[in-house]
């Protein structure tokens, strides 16, 4: 069995993650390295575990999360497809069964809002976990005077929570933002497509997606 722990220790995988993030840094994109993929893996597992999905799904969503951005090494454009192809080769070489490779690759290839769709529970959890990772520590630019809208939005976020309610009917993305750095309208300007995809992902999991910013419900 290919485990999440074995992927964490894979030298080639970690090199691809590191190099992909270096490429994004050269393009002035926010952090997409180990902090991001590790958080997405934890949140993806949390979602499926809370909803009582089987251990196989929990393991595969963590693996998909860890590998989902390695395609940025190739190019930011259509990186989800590049990531899926790279993951296919890596996991096949490691001896993962074809049905598990297929589930991981499908989730990775559908995680981006430009072309993605929650084709499975694993894909849905990956989408929600990935799109909810908005935080100040992802901003690399140390000069606030040169912040673009992505920098402003991420820097403004002081706290992010992704929570399944006790009745397991809703998933809530709760953000606390400092409006001195970014406004609620800034958030929607760059994240509207992502929130639409999150709503579809939540529906795939049998949940209703809710967004709350500074204790004000918006969706």
Tens digits of per-residue pLDDT, 154-178?
A: 999 999 999 999 999 999 999 999 9
Judge whether 218 and 211 are in contact, CB under 8 Å. yes
CA separation for the pair 129, 36 (Å, rounded): 10
Three-state secondary structure readout of 146-179: HCCHHHHHHHHEEEEEEEECCCCCEEEEEEEECC
Contacts of residue 64, defined as CB under 8 A and 6 or more positions apart, other chains included, come to 44, 87, 103, 104, 107, 108, 111, 122, 123, 126
Domain ranges of the chain: 4-217
- Asked whether the predicted pLDDT for residue 26 surpasses 80, the reply is yes
Judge whether 137 and 35 are in contact, CB under 8 Å. yes
Judge whether 94 and 66 are in contact, CB under 8 Å. no
Q: Pick the closest to residue 65 from 136, 163, 132, 158 (CA basis).
A: 132
Tens digits of per-residue pLDDT, 51-103?
A: 999 999 999 999 999 999 999 999 999 999 999 999 999 999 999 999 999 99
- Compute the average pLDDT of residues 117-136: 97
Q: Pick the closest to residue 188 from 160, 171, 211 (CA basis).
A: 211
CATH of domain 4-217: 1.10.3210.10
Residue 93 has a pLDDT of: 98
């Amino acid at each position: 069995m290919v485990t999440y722990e074995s992927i964490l220790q894979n030298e080639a995988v970690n090199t691809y993650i590191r190099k992909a993030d270096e490429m994004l840094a050269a393009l002035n994109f926010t952090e997409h390295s180990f902090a991001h993929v590790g958080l997405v893996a934890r949140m993806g597992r949390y979602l499926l575990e809370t909803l009582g999905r089987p251990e196989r799904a929990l393991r595969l969503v963590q693996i998909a999360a860890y590998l989902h951005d390695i395609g940025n090494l190739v190019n930011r454009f259509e990186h989800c497809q590049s990531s899926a192809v790279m993951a296919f080769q890596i996991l096949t070489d490691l001896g993962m069964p074809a049905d598990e490779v297929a589930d991981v690759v499908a989730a990775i290839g559908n995680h981006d809002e430009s072309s993605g769709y929650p084709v499975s529970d694993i894909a849905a959890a990956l989408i929600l976990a990935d799109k909810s990772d908005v935080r100040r520590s992802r901003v690399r630019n140390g000069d606030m005077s040169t912040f673009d809208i992505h920098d402003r939005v991420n820097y403004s976020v002081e706290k992010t929570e992704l929570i399944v309610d006790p009745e397991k009917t809703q998933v809530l993305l709760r953000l606390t933002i400092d409006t001195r750095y970014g406004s609620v309208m800034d958030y929607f300007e760059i994240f509207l497509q992502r929130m639409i995809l999150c709503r579809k992902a939540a529906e795939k999991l049998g949940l209703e997606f809710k967004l709350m910013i500074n204790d004000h419900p918006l969706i």
